[in-house]
Structure 1
Amino acid sequence: MAEKMDLASARRQLHSPNKKTAARALKTIKAEKRLQQHARYTAQSEDK
């Protein structure tokens, strides 16, 4: 069963009583934040 792991689904699953599901959601959220930070950093360095 394939599950979609976009940011909205991850935020919803973060409150799951199942620890594995919550951990998977947290991992997805952190990966998304890491990508956003990297995108900001590269955009900032290109402006200089």
Structure 2
Amino acid sequence: MTEKLDIASAARKLKSPNIKTRKRALKAIHDLAKQVKISK
């Protein structure tokens, strides 16, 4: 069960020592960036 990550919480989780948390946050940031790019 994962919560929805916005940019602020994903950026905060990138500093986590847990590799899975960092990868999940990085994927969320990439997905959000794609959505912004497509919508423009």
Instruction: Please indicate, yes or no, whether the TM-score normalized by the shorter chain is above 0.5.
Output: yes
Give the TM-score, by structure 1 length: 0.73
Higher helix proportion:
1
Which 5+ residue runs of structure 2 have no aligned equivalent? none
Q: Could you state the TM-score of these two structures normalised by the residue count of structure 2? A: 0.85
Higher relative contact order, chain-length normalized (CA < 8 Å, sep 6+): 2
Percent pairwise identity: 47
Cα RMSD of the aligned pairs, angstroms, is 1.4
